[in-house]
Amino acid sequence: MRKTTALLAAFAILAGLTACTGTSTLVKDGSVAGCTPSAAPSGAASESVKASGVLKKAPKVSFPTPLHVTKTQTSVLVSGKGKPMTAGESAFYDLTILNGRTGKVVAKGNYDTVGDGFSTIAKGAAFDAVTKGLECAQGNSRIAIVATSKDGHDDKPYQGIRKSDSLVFVLDVTKSFPAQATGFNRLPLNGLPSVVTTKTGQPGIQLPAGKEPTTYTKELLRQGTGPKTKKDSFIVAKYTAISWKDQTVFDSSWTIGEGQAKVIGLGNAGVVAGLRAGLIGQKVGSRVLLVVPPKLAVSDGSDQTVTVPTGTTLVYVVDILGIAQ
């Protein structure tokens, strides 16, 4: 899917959502003090972008045209709060996209939800311009990204966008999330699958010897201290899921580098019953281990996007990073 059309699709998906401490210091080049983006540093092009208006309202954007870059640039227009974002972290944002050649708006979000877009800073993630631009961003900030044609639309012409056109993205970062569960570790119980974690937070699951279990088990590997999830919550999570029968991963957030967080609607029909039951009532920051027998490893499939193995026990390790709504 082309990146521009994919981004518009993301707007549609997230339109149903309604909705760190300290204040940053901007240095004169439009970056955040103490944080230097490695993928898309500030430059003359991004510094030339102006966006008037308050956050969470569509801004009036202006810049000299034509605006073209050979390397994607990012500048902070309105400083935010909290720790600057780094690899593996995610954010919701409101977004306006403009053609750098003409100055015309290409796409614009609704600015009436928790955020029209959602991205994770990870190599290989969708929307290169946005994932690069989010590095060093903070919650409640506004940033300007001037993207190369490759990062912005994969060098593909689309609805008035020429192959070589740079795109200008103005993002209002509404809410950010950590790269992995931040709760304190708990000692695992004997007889359960063991879990080891890489530096990026990716869990590796080792199944114990013996027969495939037929009872449902829910165990906290990390205890969070944030708010509790509810039956209708939309949560932000990273997870790995394996089939007990063949001991293979059938779904995971870590199909790319630092892992790509996903938004899960606990009330959605496509969520596996045992997964939903294990995530409702959990505190943000928790890592949850779920052993789901076949009778609970089902959903009605109406909005399921992953093929779930049948006739076998499933094991999930889920990091609850936050609540979108």
* pLDDT of 73 above 60: yes
Check whether residue 164 and residue 228 sit in a common domain.
no
Which among 145, 176, 207 is the end of a domain?
A: 176
CATH code of the domain covering residue 70: 3.10.50.40
pLDDT value of position 24 = 37
Q: Are residues 33 and 165 in the same domain?
A: yes
The reply to whether 112 and 160 lie within a common domain is yes
Residues 22 and 143 in one domain: yes
- Tell me: pLDDT of 10 over 60: no
Same structural domain for residues 160 and 255? Answer: no
Tens of pLDDT, residue by residue over 90-121, are 999 999 999 999 999 999 999 988 888 999 99
Confidence category of residue 32, pLDDT binned at 50, 70, 90:
low
> Structural domain of residue 284, as residue ranges?
184-323
Task: Please tell me the distance from the alpha carbon of residue 145 to that of residue 49, in angstroms, as a whole number.
Answer: 9
Are 55 and 162 in a shared domain? yes
Using pLDDT thresholds of 50, 70 and 90, give the confidence band for residue 224. very high
* 4: pLDDT strictly greater than 90: no
Domain count, the chain: 2
State which H helix or E strand residue 278 sits in: helix 273-279
Domain boundary among 124, 158, 176: 176
Q: Are 205 and 248 spatial neighbours (Cβ–Cβ below 8 Å)?
A: no
What are 37-66's pLDDT values in tens digits?
777 899 999 999 999 999 989 999 999 999
Q: Do 256 and 296 reside in the same domain of the chain?
A: yes
Residues 163, 33: one domain? yes
pLDDT for 87? 92
Average pLDDT over residues 226-250: 96
pLDDT (0 to 100) of residue 171: 96
58 shares its domain with 189:
no
Please give the model's pTM, rounded to 2 decimal places: 0.87
Cis status, amide bond into 37, omega within 30 of 0: no
Identify the pLDDT of residue 187: 85
**Displacement of CA 101 from its chain's centroid (Å):** 29
- Asked if the model's pLDDT at residue 18 lies above 60, the reply is no
CA dihedral 206, 278, 303, 178 (to 10 degrees): -70
Taking CB atoms within 8 Å and a gap of at least 24, the contacts of 156-161 are: 156/2, 156/3, 156/4, 158/2, 158/4, 158/5, 159/4, 159/106, 160/99, 160/102, 160/104, 160/106, 161/4, 161/99, 161/106
249 and 226 in a common domain: yes
Q: Let me know whether 269 and 123 are in one domain.
A: no
Residue 263 confidence (pLDDT): 94
Three-state secondary structure of 188-215: CCCCCCEEEECCCCCEEEECCCCCCCCC
Amino acid at 48: S
pLDDT, averaged across the chain = 88
Residues 53 and 161 reside in one and the same domain: yes
Which of residues 114, 145, 176 is at a domain's end?
176
Confidence band, pLDDT 50/70/90 cuts, at residue 221: very high
